Structure 1
Amino acid sequence: MESKWSFMLPWCQVLRPLLSYTPYPVPGLKVSFRQRSDHLHSLEQTRDALALLAAVAHVDLVAWKFLLVKHCGVKILRSRENVSLNAATPFTFVFANHFHARLDVPWAVEILECCLVRVDEHVANATYKDALAQIAAPQSAPRPVSTEIEIPVHVELRPNALRHADIHEFITAAWAALKSVEESRAQRPDNAAERFTFKEGALSFRSTFVLASLEADIMLIQDYADVPRMVAEMTASSNHFRISDLDMTPWPAENTAVETNAYASIEGRSQMLRSVLCSGGHSHTSASCKETRVNNVCLESYLTHEWVFEAMCSALVVTQSASVVTIHLDQVKESPEQRRREWQWLAYAFLSQRARLHSSIRTVDLWNVDLTTEDAEAVAAILAVANPEEQFVGMMPTAPLVRQGGHLEYYVKANASMRLAPIHHDLPVWRSSDFSIPNDVCGVKLLGDDGESEWVDVLVPSLGKCQAQRASLSRCDHVSVTSEPTKLTLRLNIAEEGGRWGGLRHLLRAIGPVLDGLELFIRYGGFVDLSWIIEVCPMLRHLRINGCTVDAAAFVRAYESGESRLSSLNCPMDDARPLAAALSRGESCLAKHLRQLRLDCDFAQTSSIMVKTALSTLEHMLTVNRSLEYLCISMTVGCARKAITDTMASITLHDQEMLPVVGSKLPMACKAAFLSIFWPVRGDTTLNKRKPELTTFQPRRCELEPHVISIIFGFAATCVVRQVFFDPHSCVFT
């Protein structure tokens, strides 16, 4: 291996100071570009080295991983998450940590323009061509490969600077460069570049860096007038690439000085929020949800006024542009009334029947929450009514027209006159003059109607409660994204200082049936019985608990007596033995359903003999259980590592075991192999001898013994490879 790929060593040295593995936000290889003065090699050399490394992955994955680890210095430590590296692993171009001293805007633009290209159009380096020829040689490619290599790139724009103007200049210039690269690529014909010609019999590669996703932090620059337009361009361009993460505040901060500028900022921020959350697949006649435009929208709502929830949640409830929403709150500092209203708006935006039918959001991440019993009861109250929008404005749906219109969706026609009429009047500036939006606004909810007035109250995505002219409203015929309400994953992060979670049980009792996943970060630090979660969340598939120790015996009893089907569990347990015992019994519900287990055990006050006993129970479980695919063990042990080394080694022997579980769908090659058991059979021509003799194909599987068919399917199926390890970052020995 070393001698065969020795020609790649100089190129690996170019990448060694820049390359590392990153699991977040996009699992891949992070390229940390330094300041111009700290960059040891030219950008062209860096780009060529990345292209050559991708070409190696294209022809020989084992050699690629060898070069990464040994010669590029990439450390891939096994951690809580699976590390999966393959030829499609993206490079992440990071413009963050090393750009804090001085934002060199021309240097960042130069990096993007140099690297995001089709390499063979720009390379005249004979050394590069020679290296690529050796990679493309037949002996280097043990399997058939395509000659077109697309290298996915994730760009992370998170510059650190003291002056907001510097950040604005940096992101604006970087976006202009990215947009220019994408436009030039769209205009380029497929045959624009000739491939390199190598010696006879060699492959001819053509490598292209492709912008796959973008992450941008615009939190501090949103009051600039051109930022809403830039965000609109980003979301519109995401048909060509994904926006993996976008950080923003949904509204101007409280210290906006000039009233006219503040009002203009309100309209601009509404436009930006609408671009991010309301630019998906909404239609006047259908709402088929297209691929989401922004994977994760991070909203810093604690910087805004209370009425921001009115505008923000009115957009989130019908968004078809985002799949994950992260909201940073500050509920510890809020009054009980304000906090309860926030919980009701959040429940409406994510958990109501309207949201589950119309919204593309599948994961909700709430930070710094404070949850009391009264808050949970307020959530249950808003979810129990048919038209929660009217409850927010204190409207009692008594008139027949109101009841009929409550379940309908409308859109406001483009350029129609509207007026802001927010429910909460804590605006920094108030002006009741008319305004208009240049595009149709879909997902509008009618808030009562007397059937006669010229102006009616409506709830408008990204604007909240407004008044619109009756003539400007038209009904949407079909608005449901799915035929059945969707399931959600909810992450609750209780505030670190002063955060309460006494209302958690009441909250989950109200919303549990709609949850597919639940992650709790409680920061309690004590021992608790959370077995009741299994009862109130019957559809749960994924459960993660952090910050407290769970009673393992009570948890197992609750699971075995219920109808849960957990496939993934990540919990600190007081004792591993009840869980291991349940997973060792074939008839156990836990053994039938659980596929991934991350186990965190505290053995700090336990003798080495007891630790060995617990670990031996886990080892026995792995021997008899043939369906658990992933086991990660974290532990704090009150003894020396050498006292339990043998037991730990016996557990890790189960790593990389082949399990009798199908790991993935059968590839096309396997499906084609199955077709080979169908044989041509002469058709019966005795019924009509005037017709020409026909040859038909009849399956012969019925002539095979069942065990033979089972062997064929078992041979073709891709089995799961079990992963078992001790987390090196979380195992502590005294």
Structure 2
Amino acid sequence: MSRGATNAQLKLQWEFLDPWLEILGRRIKYKPVAFEEEVWDAEKRVLEVTLPAKNSDNYERYSQSEFNYDLREVREALALVAAVAHVDQEAWKFVLNKVWGLKLGKIGSEELEREIPARFVLIFDHLAGVVPITSYTDSENSFLKDLVHFCGTNQVEDPSPEFQTALRQLAVRAGTRLLPRDKSGLDIKIPVQVFLTDKGFLVGRQLLLKANAEKIVREQWEEYERSSRQQPLPSGKIRCTLELLPMVAEWTDSMGYSSFAPKIQKIMKDNVWFSQLSLSAESGGGLIGDACRGRDDFRQIMATVFDSTRRSPSRSTSRYYFDRGVYLRDGSPLQVNQVDFKSYTSLRSGDLGAIMSALVINQTTKKVTMRAVKRTISGDDNWMWLAYGLFSKRARAYSALETFSLNQIDSLSVSNAKALSDVIFSDHPEEVVCGTSPGVVEDRNATLNSGASIRWIFADGQPVVDAKAITTESAVRGVRTFSDDGESEWVDAIVPGMGRCQVLRDDLVFDLASAIPTHTGALKSLTIGFNKEEDTDPISDGLPDFLAAVGSTLKDLTLDGPRDDFDENLILRHCPSLHTLSLCGGIVDVQLDFSEHRYNNEPIPELKCHWHYPSSCCRLERPHESSLQVCSSTAIPSKRPMRRLESR
């Protein structure tokens, strides 16, 4: 279809899709999915699909074969719609506009011109099609058979005649540009994800069932590809296959952490992968009335999610890996593409310390975000824990983290920045964070034995010895001892998922087997967002000192929200490897791209910015040369180093 076709022409050309769109019309929503820190990402949208559920009222009297017929109809309709997006973006946008009412902007606008991929998120309203189990211990033999039917080899082994006819009609419209006669046919892979949320009592069970379904789907496809059933796709033909990506799971109810902890431990050890995992950043001890139990549940979850074991993607339950809409068949993906922490207001130091004590040796994810409704962190203690988990000597030696985002900051004062810097530049960061004296014995990594006691409550820097201790149910790796006099019965230690603790010397094993694998790295991308609430005036006078401490390894930096004005050239001096700088939250949002300068090993031009005058907001100059770029708030310039600019 040529560009500029009228709606009438598009409707006539694609009217064979009408019955398929009718099938989806009552089941599908086109929804934006965007995260606050991703200021410059193209707006992400997904097709949220509610699947038929065998145990729902609508299908109560259906036989399994009748139900499978309806499930196949929905699957094939989704496949055809996604194929249209691949073959003809103009027709796809017509469908989005006319069927789901999506406003795509005016002719010539970036929104209308941008390619929109088809991405599906599957919603289960019920625990659909569960194979009966005799006990909880048999749950590994259970699976969501509807999901297996939806994403497994049934797609290619039992397509409906109507679907095959529609594919032939689609091939005619694709033409020889996409289907050249001298090449094999077009094999379209369509990513689908399952979204599991803690809003419902069945989600914990669904988490295990979904993991088992992923494994079965992978085994089906591997067996199919090894067999003679897989045939080469003939020239001029189109094949559409839904491919199950790692799940998106949300568990932000800290009161339910006692139920969640054993489940997440099992599926992480089983090498189940996640596109995103959202968690509460607050332990639930106060809510459940048992602080000790709540803290231990939180410890187990944090230590599991930020495990020090790096697991192989080739042995995962998923066949494909997903990041920003791109399949990752090679490279170095990790088990959880993104961990997202949510809280209502400022994190308690104990909770943040628990998170950072696990994150400092993390080998499961490269990206972490922290968001709060009111504010995230405040006070020197929190900034020191943040420094320990993200930038300390230990983090640089052992953590795989590359991207971190933090919003709603109330204060980044000079004092906060100094506290953070003290941790970053210390050879003994644990002593600085916890305010303890240097030890006689060197800081060491250790394993804490199963059944060990952990003191975790402190007052005025000293352990509360008569408080109830936590007893470990299994061995704990990655413990770091510090301030050790070599003699005392109890030893100061950082325990993953707990933060500062004291443990018995006799419960520690210092040997080579307990050493954590070293994966030297450093944070490369950072987003800092200041508090945007009305009637707030966040303190940001420590921002220059903060960047001086953390900026040496950064390639991407985003500063968002209200903050003190300062010379933007200072950012470039403190961040000498910066490729992208985004400055947001004022009259204009601007993104500067220095990647060509870095690639050509050229110095970055001096910035001359006037954020309060958007008609001429930013000028980049070289000595003895004329201006490289003058940007207007009404146009997006085509040349670098300015990539994008938006006026508020």
TM-score by length of 1: 0.64
Report the residue type matching 2:354 in the other structure.
A
Q: Which residue, out of 408, 430, 454, partners 1:389? A: 430
What is the rounded CA distance, in whole Å, between the counterparts of 1:551 and 1:187 in structure 2?
48
Report the residue type matching 2:153 in the other structure.
R
Matched, 1:291 2:336: no
What is the rounded CA distance, in whole Å, between the counterparts of 2:233 and 2:452 in structure 1?
69
Change (3 A) 1:210 1:49: same
User: Which string of whole-angstrom CA distances, capped at 9 and with x for unpartnered residues, describes residues 685-711 of structure 1?
Assistant: xxxxxxxxxxxxxxxxxxxxxxxxxxx
- Written as runs of structure 1 = structure 2, the 5 A alignment for 1:314-353 is 314-328=357-371, 339-353=379-393
Which residue does 1:11 correspond to in 2? 20
Deviation at 1:590, TM superposition (A): 6.3
Matched, 1:536 2:574: yes
Which residue does 2:529 correspond to in 1? 492
Which residue does 2:47 correspond to in 1? 30
User: Which string of whole-angstrom CA distances, capped at 9 and with x for unpartnered residues, describes residues 77-113 of structure 1?
Assistant: 5668994446xx5322357xxxxxxx65559979746
Percent identity of the aligned residues? 20
Which residue does 1:214 correspond to in 2? 247
Check the 8 A contact 2:261/2:301 in 1, yes or no: yes
Check the 8 A contact 2:179/2:186 in 1, yes or no: no
Change (3 A) 1:115 1:588: farther
Which residue does 2:323 correspond to in 1? none
What is the rounded CA distance, in whole Å, between the counterparts of 2:113 and 2:502 in structure 1?
48
User: Which string of whole-angstrom CA distances, capped at 9 and with x for unpartnered residues, describes residues 171-196 of structure 1?
Assistant: 23532442342232244321699979
Report the residue type matching 1:44 in the other structure.
R
User: Which string of whole-angstrom CA distances, capped at 9 and with x for unpartnered residues, describes residues 142-168 of structure 1?
Assistant: 2435676542212233475xxxxxx23
Matched, 1:503 2:542: yes
Check the 8 A contact 1:411/1:473 in 2, yes or no: yes
Check the 8 A contact 2:568/2:607 in 1, yes or no: no
What is the rounded CA distance, in whole Å, between the counterparts of 2:644 and 2:244 in structure 1?
34
Check the 8 A contact 1:412/1:472 in 2, yes or no: yes
What is the rounded CA distance, in whole Å, between the counterparts of 1:397 and 1:549 in structure 2?
49
Deviation at 1:379, TM superposition (A): 1.8
1:254 alignment partner, SS class: helix
Report the residue type matching 2:287 in the other structure.
N
Check the 8 A contact 1:522/1:547 in 2, yes or no: yes
- Written as runs of structure 1 = structure 2, the 5 A alignment for 1:682-701 is none
Check the 8 A contact 1:215/1:243 in 2, yes or no: yes
Which residue does 2:121 correspond to in 1? 92
What is the rounded CA distance, in whole Å, between the counterparts of 1:428 and 1:222 in structure 2?
25
What is the rounded CA distance, in whole Å, between the counterparts of 1:146 and 1:202 in structure 2?
5
Deviation at 1:231, TM superposition (A): 2.1
Report the residue type matching 1:317 in the other structure.
V
Check the 8 A contact 1:281/1:290 in 2, yes or no: no
Q: Which has the larger radius of gyration?
A: 1
Change (3 A) 1:506 1:66: closer
Change (3 A) 1:518 1:632: closer
Change (3 A) 1:10 1:548: same
Change (3 A) 1:238 1:30: farther
Change (3 A) 1:7 1:536: same
Q: Which residue, out of 375, 380, 386, partners 2:416? A: 375
What is the rounded CA distance, in whole Å, between the counterparts of 2:510 and 2:399 in structure 1?
21
1:502 alignment partner, SS class: coil
What is the rounded CA distance, in whole Å, between the counterparts of 2:529 and 2:111 in structure 1?
20
Which residue does 2:404 correspond to in 1? 364
Report the residue type matching 1:412 in the other structure.
T
Check the 8 A contact 1:380/1:510 in 2, yes or no: yes
Which residue does 2:321 correspond to in 1? none
Which residue does 2:224 correspond to in 1? 190
Check the 8 A contact 2:582/2:589 in 1, yes or no: no
User: Which string of whole-angstrom CA distances, capped at 9 and with x for unpartnered residues, describes residues 319-343 of structure 1?
Assistant: 1112222224689799xxx711111
User: Which string of whole-angstrom CA distances, capped at 9 and with x for unpartnered residues, describes residues 537-581 of structure 1?
Assistant: 3333222222224899xxx9xx9xx98649999995624546367
What is the rounded CA distance, in whole Å, between the counterparts of 2:158 and 2:607 in structure 1?
48
What is the rounded CA distance, in whole Å, between the counterparts of 2:196 and 2:579 in structure 1?
34
1:519 alignment partner, SS class: strand
- Written as runs of structure 1 = structure 2, the 5 A alignment for 1:662-677 is none
Change (3 A) 1:515 1:192: closer
Change (3 A) 1:245 1:588: farther
Report the residue type matching 2:420 in the other structure.
V
Change (3 A) 1:425 1:72: farther
Work out the number of aligned pairs and report it.
564
Which residue does 2:72 correspond to in 1? 44
Alpha-carbon RMSD: 4.9
Check the 8 A contact 1:542/1:566 in 2, yes or no: no
Change (3 A) 1:202 1:177: farther
Change (3 A) 1:569 1:316: farther
Which residue does 1:310 correspond to in 2? 353
Deviation at 1:309, TM superposition (A): 2.6
Check the 8 A contact 1:310/1:423 in 2, yes or no: no
Which residue does 1:518 correspond to in 2? 557
Deviation at 1:467, TM superposition (A): 1.0
Check the 8 A contact 1:307/1:422 in 2, yes or no: no
User: Which string of whole-angstrom CA distances, capped at 9 and with x for unpartnered residues, describes residues 564-612 of structure 1?
Assistant: 64999999562454636759x9967967xxxxx9x784xxxxxxxxxxx
Report the residue type matching 1:325 in the other structure.
V
Change (3 A) 1:564 1:376: farther
Report the residue type matching 1:349 in the other structure.
G
Check the 8 A contact 2:306/2:358 in 1, yes or no: yes
Check the 8 A contact 1:253/1:305 in 2, yes or no: no
1:168 alignment partner, SS class: coil
- Written as runs of structure 1 = structure 2, the 5 A alignment for 1:586-625 is 601=633, 622=638, 625=639
Which residue does 2:583 correspond to in 1? 545
What is the rounded CA distance, in whole Å, between the counterparts of 1:423 and 1:67 in structure 2?
62
2:287 alignment partner, SS class: coil
Deviation at 1:201, TM superposition (A): 6.9
Check the 8 A contact 1:517/1:541 in 2, yes or no: yes
Which residue does 1:456 correspond to in 2? 491
Q: Which residue, out of 225, 237, 248, partners 2:280? A: 248
1:319 alignment partner, SS class: coil
2:48 alignment partner, SS class: strand
Check the 8 A contact 2:246/2:275 in 1, yes or no: yes
Report the residue type matching 1:129 in the other structure.
Q
Q: Which residue, out of 506, 509, 525, partners 1:472? A: 509
Deviation at 1:446, TM superposition (A): 1.8
Check the 8 A contact 1:550/1:571 in 2, yes or no: no
What is the rounded CA distance, in whole Å, between the counterparts of 1:293 and 1:136 in structure 2?
37
Deviation at 1:219, TM superposition (A): 0.8
Which residue does 1:438 correspond to in 2? 474
Check the 8 A contact 1:307/1:424 in 2, yes or no: no
Which residue does 2:133 correspond to in 1? none
Which residue does 1:20 correspond to in 2? 30
What is the rounded CA distance, in whole Å, between the counterparts of 1:511 and 1:342 in structure 2?
16
What is the rounded CA distance, in whole Å, between the counterparts of 1:569 and 1:136 in structure 2?
54
- Written as runs of structure 1 = structure 2, the 5 A alignment for 1:263-302 is 263-278=292-307, 280-281=309-310, 291-300=333-342, 302=345
Change (3 A) 1:344 1:329: farther
User: Which string of whole-angstrom CA distances, capped at 9 and with x for unpartnered residues, describes residues 242-277 of structure 1?
Assistant: 3323222352252332x4xx4233222211111111
Report the residue type matching 2:471 in the other structure.
F
Deviation at 1:49, TM superposition (A): 0.8
Change (3 A) 1:246 1:212: same
2:201 alignment partner, SS class: helix
Deviation at 1:494, TM superposition (A): 2.6
Deviation at 1:278, TM superposition (A): 1.3
TM-score by length of 2: 0.71
What is the rounded CA distance, in whole Å, between the counterparts of 2:311 and 2:537 in structure 1?
41
